[in-house]
Amino acid sequence: MKNNDLAVVILAAGKGTRLKSSLAKVLHRAGGRTLVEQVIRACAPLGAKRTIVVVGHQSEVVMATVEPLGATTVLQQPQHGTGHAMQVVRRALGNSKFAIVLPGDAPLVRPETLKALLATHRSANAAATVLTAVVADPRGYGRILRKSDTAISAIVEESQLSGDQAEINEINSAIYCFTLEKLWPALAQVKPNNKHRELYLTDAVAVLASKGEVVLAQVAADPCEVLGCNTRADLAEVDRIFRDWKRLALMDSGVTIQLPETVLIDPDVMAGEDTVIEPGVQLLGKTKIGARCTIRAGSVLSGAILADDVVVEAHSLIADSRLDDGVIVGPFARLRGGNHLKARVRVGNFVELKKSVLGEGTKAMHLTYLGDAKIGSKTNIGAGTITCNYDGFHKHPTTIGNKVFIGSDSALVAPVRVGNGAFIAAGSTITENVPADGLGIARGRQTNKIGWASKKRRELASSPSDKKITPKKSRRNSKKQKR
Ligand code: UD1
Ligand code: MG
């Protein structure tokens, strides 16, 4: 869809005083994205000729957030209200006939709702069309004064309510469609008649209505779409709704989510059919999960790419890693960035991996650190194996071949290579390459002292001073203990 006569204007210059934050309001996040990004994304399907974001507080950071998303910015400095913001943006609107104006802090609006708003506006040839919602608790929002079933006469801000206007439960979403040639003269008549001495865009709506222009209200089908994020509690509520939507979308596509309200899923996450997600899981960033996978309780995946039939056992952390078909990791595994686990690899409890490749069918089941390691297929990494990849100055690689057996409690001091089919004896500290099919053994040789223990016992039994502790000694010992 293309609308060449349309501009989108997102008002994002305000500080967000009620959030009590050093971060500008529109940069707070809900549903895994900044508020302003959510709004820009909701507007994208309108196909407007230009999308302009009005910036003010922390303008540089807001600009850096929105410009990569295809929006241009206009600086409003200082901020004298939403009406003033529109005056500031006027030149940048060029020859646009219509503008859809949205606050940067109401991110739940759906593209279909905006399309319907534009369609209503166009077909009625209106001067302004206001998206409204009927809500149970209208506190904090501007209230809609109705002229008729479709038309409105004014919007009254919360701070200016009089008489029984507080009872009105139809609220202003602050999302409007304006015919711009009608808006400008109306805005010129608006006065800062409020306690903040601001120019309210809402007052321009009343001016238009008083001039007899067509000012329509379109009621949002789903009132949650207009929720604004003025407080931390609002942010939490809006985030909850986004997360709900995402979980429902995944469930609709064939994913099982147990106790869904405990599971946090970012917007770009994908998961295939018959995958099961257990309680308390977080799926973050661009995590992509194949079909028939199981992500057990309490695991956190961020930027993880899982093929099919992968099992992530409970309480595992997987960041920026690729797991091929049939891999099993955890419980309590930690995969830091840059790992590739090929088909049917098994990584068990308390295993940490970083920038490592494990070939098909390789196992590292217990208490191991593998960093900068390249490991072939069908290799067994014994319990407690450590790749010593850092010498205090630089990182070094460890290369292990196919069908290798690394005995438990081995330290592989990198850079080092272990050839195909080689064995490493348990408890070895390997500092030199081990050739294919060889045995690397590097540890103190054991000596057994025959009869040593029984001799010791006999000695102790025959020595009376060792049987009883003398009172003097015991006093000294107890003092020592106290110290
Ligand atoms: C606004 C509406 C209110 C509506 C509510 C819905 C006005 C006067 N009131 O109130 O009727 O019910 O939204 O959420 O419009 N901004 C600027 N420049 C400014 C002032 C604000 O860009 O000078 C931006 C803010 O960054 C924010 C948006 O405009 O993104 C709305 O401002 P906010 O202070 O949140 O207005 P509300 O009190 O929520
Ligand atoms: Mg607001």
Architecture per CATH, 255-440? 3 Solenoid (2.160)
End-to-end CA distance of the chain: 81
| CA-based radius of gyration for the chain | 34
Question: Does residue 479 register a pLDDT over 60?
Answer: no
Q: Percent of the chain, pLDDT > 90?
A: 93
Band the pLDDT of 267: cuts 50, 70, 90: very high
Whole-angstrom Cα distance, residue 282 to residue 220?
Answer: 31
The predicted-structure confidence for 283-337, as pLDDT tens digits, reads as follows 999 999 999 999 999 999 999 999 999 999 999 999 999 999 999 999 999 999 9
CA neighbor of 155 nearest in space, from 170, 167, 136: 170
Whole-angstrom Cα distance, residue 336 to residue 95?
Answer: 52
The model's pTM is 0.91
* Residue 371 CB less than 6 A away from ligand 1: no
- Nearest ligand 1 atom to the CA of 11 is 22
Tell me which ligand sits closest to the C-alpha of residue 225: 1
Rounded to an integer, the average pLDDT of 11-29 is 94
Q: Any idea which residue has 């390997």 for tokens? A: 430
CB 31: neighbour CB atoms within 10 A? 22
Band the pLDDT of 470: cuts 50, 70, 90: low
Q: Any idea which residue has 């408890």 for tokens? A: 427
CB 136: neighbour CB atoms within 10 A? 6
Whole-angstrom Cα distance, residue 75 to residue 12?
Answer: 10
Strands 33-34 and 29-30: antiparallel
Amino acid at position 342, single letter: K
CA neighbor of 288 nearest in space, from 301, 306, 276: 306
- Nearest ligand 1 atom to the CA of 172 is 12
Tell me which ligand sits closest to the C-alpha of residue 58: 1
* Nearest CA owner, ligand 1 atom 2: 174
Question: Does residue 464 register a pLDDT over 90?
Answer: no
* pLDDT of res. 150: 86
* Residue 14 CB less than 6 A away from ligand 1: yes
Rounded to an integer, the average pLDDT of 134-138 is 95
Band the pLDDT of 6: cuts 50, 70, 90: very high
Band the pLDDT of 472: cuts 50, 70, 90: low
* Residue 10 CB less than 6 A away from ligand 1: no
* pLDDT of res. 158: 92
Is 366 one of the catalytic residues? yes
Amino acid at position 12, single letter: A
Number of residues assigned to the chain: 483
CB 456: neighbour CB atoms within 10 A? 10
Question: What are the residues facing 46 on neighbouring strands?
Answer: none
Query: Per-domain residue ranges for the chain?
Result: 3-226, 255-440
The predicted-structure confidence for 369-414, as pLDDT tens digits, reads as follows 999 999 999 999 999 999 999 999 999 999 999 999 999 999 999 9
Contact 437, 421 (CB under 8 A): yes
Amino acid at position 477, single letter: N
Architecture per CATH, 3-226? Alpha-Beta Complex (3.90)
Rounded to an integer, the average pLDDT of 433-446 is 97
Catalytic annotation, pick one of 121, 366, 394, 396: 366
Q: Which residues of 254-270 are buried (b: 16+ CB within 10 A; e: fewer)?
A: ebebeebeebbbbbebb
The predicted-structure confidence for 148-196, as pLDDT tens digits, reads as follows 888 899 999 999 999 899 999 999 999 999 999 999 999 999 999 998 9
Q: Residue 2 burial by CB count (10 A; 0-12/13-18/19+): exposed, middle or buried?
A: exposed
Amino acid at position 463, single letter: S
Mean pLDDT of the chain: 95
CA neighbor of 174 nearest in space, from 12, 392, 283, 24: 12
Query: Fold match between 3-226 and 255-440?
Result: no
* Residue 73 CB less than 6 A away from ligand 1: no
* Nearest CA owner, ligand 1 atom 10: 141
What Cα–Cα distance (Å) separates residue 323 from each residue in 279, 333, 358, 363, 390? 21, 13, 10, 13, 25
CA neighbor of 155 nearest in space, from 187, 215, 203, 196: 203
Question: Does residue 482 register a pLDDT over 50?
Answer: no
What is the arrangement of strands in the sheet containing 305-306, beginning at the earlier edge strand? 270-271, 288-289, 305-306, 322-323, 340-341, 357-358, 373-375, 398-400, 416-418
CA of 192 from ligand 1 middle (Å) equals 14
Task: Pick from 82, 84, 144, 145 the residue to mutate for probing ligand 1's pocket: most ligand atoms within 8 Å of its CB.
Answer: 82
* pLDDT of res. 471: 57
* Residue 105 CB less than 6 A away from ligand 1: yes
Band the pLDDT of 469: cuts 50, 70, 90: low
- Nearest ligand 1 atom to the CA of 157 is 11
Whole-angstrom Cα distance, residue 453 to residue 460?
Answer: 11
Strands 288-289 and 373-375: unpaired
Q: Percent of the chain, pLDDT > 70?
A: 96
Report residue 106 as tokens. Answer: 């109401």
Task: Pick from 105, 109, 194, 234 the residue to mutate for probing ligand 1's pocket: most ligand atoms within 8 Å of its CB.
Answer: 105
Greater model confidence, 312 or 481: 312
Whole-angstrom Cα distance, residue 261 to residue 240?
Answer: 9
